[in-house]
Amino acid sequence: MINLPEGVTYLATEQYKYATTWGFHFLGFIAALLTCLLLIAFISLIFSGDLKGEIVLTIFFYIGIIAGSIISIAGFHIKPIYKDQYLVTIDDSVSLTEFTQQYEIIDKNENIYIIREIEP
């Protein structure tokens, strides 16, 4: 529960999405796709015999496959971040100047305010 000054009445708490994850999921999908293509290319070079004795290229493929797998797994496991915002009513006795030093007013609908705490 939020600690509100005198004259401010708490009504409800809402959560909003602070950080989205579509970028991380897209990065994970691209990394998984490139890892699959790298694996297919590596297997085709092995069966064609063109990779014989190429230790540097083999190491490159292994590192690429491992890194791509890690990035794709991490990209799909990142979750969005949610924060709280509060619905309140504010009496006329409350100084909005002092109130807005501690809280950010997001929206106002008649006498109901949506606020969130200002982080230090």
- Phi first, then psi, for residue 6 (nearest 5°) are -60, 135
Q: Are residues 88 and 41 in the same domain?
A: no
Percent of the chain with pLDDT over 70: 91
- pLDDT greater than 70 at residue 51: no
Q: Are residues 73 and 110 in the same domain?
A: no
pTM of the model: 0.53
86 lies in some domain: yes
Q: Are residues 12 and 42 in the same domain?
A: no
Q: How confident is the model at residue 20 (pLDDT cuts 50, 70, 90)?
A: low
Domain extent for 26: 22-77
Q: How many domains does the chain have?
A: 2
40 lies in some domain: yes
Q: How many CB atoms lie within 10 A of CB 54?
A: 12
31 lies in some domain: yes
User: Tokens for 97?
Assistant: 């100047």
Q: Are residues 26 and 72 in the same domain?
A: yes
- pLDDT greater than 90 at residue 47: no
- In whole angstroms, give the CA distance from residue 45 to residue 67: 20
Side-chain-facing half-sphere of 72: CA atoms under 13 Å: 14
1 lies in some domain: no
12 lies in some domain: yes
